[in-house]
């Protein structure tokens, strides 16, 4: 897998050079876009990457709606009708949903063809486009059906972020905070100070650092059986908070924001159970509050959130498991946590 990270030369220019090489001389390209990336990113991509000028493209619905087996089937039929062979490469131009779907289609077509991720969201650039997790949703269950297949290339071009609303950027910032919390405390503090300064600039070097951490973790555990679990810091709470926020009468929270809130709970438990300094919890809460309003859950709310946590795919032996932190940069994976402790953590968010 090649990751083209931001540097002084344009990422799209480097992609153009790679695709001009002999390894890709027989390739035929098929670009997946959604309505947003069709309008804001496709022309820019094609004008910079010569090899993609004759590509066919296929537009899929925006967001989770595209991660549907019926849409995957339509794509397989389209590929078959166009006589796409094993030299076909699917180019996913979009956020995590487009790359999850496109990777899934690539993994299934003729038992696996190559795909390239060109993430256009911050969360895509630092997380979803790296690591080879592909999926569709089945009913209400997210990401329960999919394959591991590493992308041939992930090309990170930060200029695509310019068209995104602030909320989308905040979403990615929380995953960046998570990555630096578990692996690079110095960068974590740098990013926190940028957030606290009130002027949020997403520096390309921060994106590169984050993408490199993700890639290094995936390299050690590509199939998510052990060390890769560290990337789930804040996610046991985060996924459940996200699902709860989609209940009638609640305000839906995007994934990154829910994880950002979940990290308060995970840090609280890290203080209680592993002796992490209380000051880290307070500092993080202050930083996170700049990007998202911390919810105040009632006891009844915590019962509903716990019900979602019981369905988490990271659970084992009937126990709810979390990643906690001994020190910044020293996560501990797969810790079974008692339900009363989980409830208390949820009540301590504010």
Q: Could you list the residues that contact ligand GLY (CB under 6 A)?
A: 127, 131, 133, 224, 228, 231
CB 237 to ligand GLY: min, Å:
15
Nearer to ligand GLY, 94 or 302 (CB): 94
Helix (H) or strand (E) holding 265, with range, is helix 255-274
Q: Which is nearer to ligand GLY, 212 or 224 (CB)?
A: 224
Residue 19 or 259 having the CB closest to ligand GLY: 259
CB 50, min distance to ligand GLY, A:
32
Indicate the residue among 69 and 227 with the shorter CB distance to ligand GLY: 227
In the numeric block, which tokens belong to residue 122?
């911050």
Burial of 347 (0-12, 13-18, 19+ CB in 10 A): middle
Rounded distance between C-alpha atoms, residue 275 and residue 166, angstroms: 35
Q: Which is nearer to ligand GLY, 127 or 184 (CB)?
A: 127
The position carrying tokens 């931001």 is 6
User: Which whole-number Å values give the CA distances from 204 to 6, 97, 143, 265, in the listed order?
Assistant: 6, 22, 29, 29
Nearer to ligand GLY, 125 or 231 (CB): 231
Cβ at position 113, least distance to ligand GLY in Å: 21
Q: Which of 159, 156, 91, 104 is nearest to 127 (CA)?
A: 156
Nearer to ligand GLY, 52 or 217 (CB): 217
Residue nearest to ligand GLY (CB): 231
Provide the minimum distance between the beta carbon of 224 and ligand GLY in the complex, in angstroms, as a whole number: 5
For the CB of residue 99, give the shortest distance to ligand GLY in the complex, in Å.
11
Which of 318-331 are b and which e, b meaning 16 or more Cβ less than 10 Å from the residue's Cβ? eebbbbbbeebeeb
The token pair that represents 282 in the structure block = 């307070």
CB of 67 to ligand GLY, least distance (A): 15
Burial of 109 (0-12, 13-18, 19+ CB in 10 A): buried
d(CA 260, CA 246): 16
Backbone angles phi, psi at 232, to 5 degrees: -90, 15
Closest distance of CB 235 from ligand GLY, Å:
8
């Amino acid at each position: 897998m090649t990751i083209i990270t931001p540097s002084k030369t344009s990422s799209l220019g480097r992609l153009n050079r790679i695709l001009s090489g002999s390894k890709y001389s027989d390739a035929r390209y098929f670009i997946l876009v959604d309505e947003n990336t069709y309008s804001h990113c496709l022309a820019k991509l094609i004008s910079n990457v010569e090899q993609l000028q004759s590509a066919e493209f296929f537009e899929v619905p925006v967001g989770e709606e595209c991660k549907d087996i019926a849409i995957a089937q339509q794509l397989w039929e389209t590929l078959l009708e166009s006589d796409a062979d094993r030299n076909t490469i699917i180019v996913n131009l979009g956020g995590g949903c487009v790359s999850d779907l496109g990777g899934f289609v690539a993994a299934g077509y003729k038992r696996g063809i190559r795909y390239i991720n060109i993430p256009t969201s911050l969360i895509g650039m630092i997380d979803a486009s790296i690591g080879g997790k592909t999926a569709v949703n089945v009913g209400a269950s997210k990401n329960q059906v999919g394959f591991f297949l590493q992308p041939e290339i992930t090309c990170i071009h930060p200029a695509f972020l310019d068209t995104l609303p602030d909320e989308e950027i905040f979403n990615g910032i929380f995953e960046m905070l998570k990555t630096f919390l578990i692996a690079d405390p110095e960068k974590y503090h740098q990013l926190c100070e940028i957030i606290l300064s009130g002027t949020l600039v997403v520096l390309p070097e921060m994106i590169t650092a984050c993408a490199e951490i993700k890639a290094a973790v995936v390299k050690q555990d590509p199939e998510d059986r052990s060390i890769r679990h560290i990337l789930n810091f804040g996610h046991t709470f985060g996924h459940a908070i996200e699902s709860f926020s989609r209940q009638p009468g609640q305000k839906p929270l995007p994934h990154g924001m829910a994880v950002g809130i979940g990290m308060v709970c995970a840090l609280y438990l890290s203080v209680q159970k592993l002796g992490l300094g209380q000051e880290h919890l307070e500092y993080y809460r202050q930083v996170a509050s700049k990007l998202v309003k911390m919810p105040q859950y009632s006891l009844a709310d915590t019962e509903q959130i716990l019900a979602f946590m019981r369905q988490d795919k990271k659970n084992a032996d009937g126990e709810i498991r979390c990643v906690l932190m001994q020190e910044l940069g020293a996560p501990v994976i797969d810790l079974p946590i008692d339900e009363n402790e989980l409830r208390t953590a949820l009540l301590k968010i504010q």
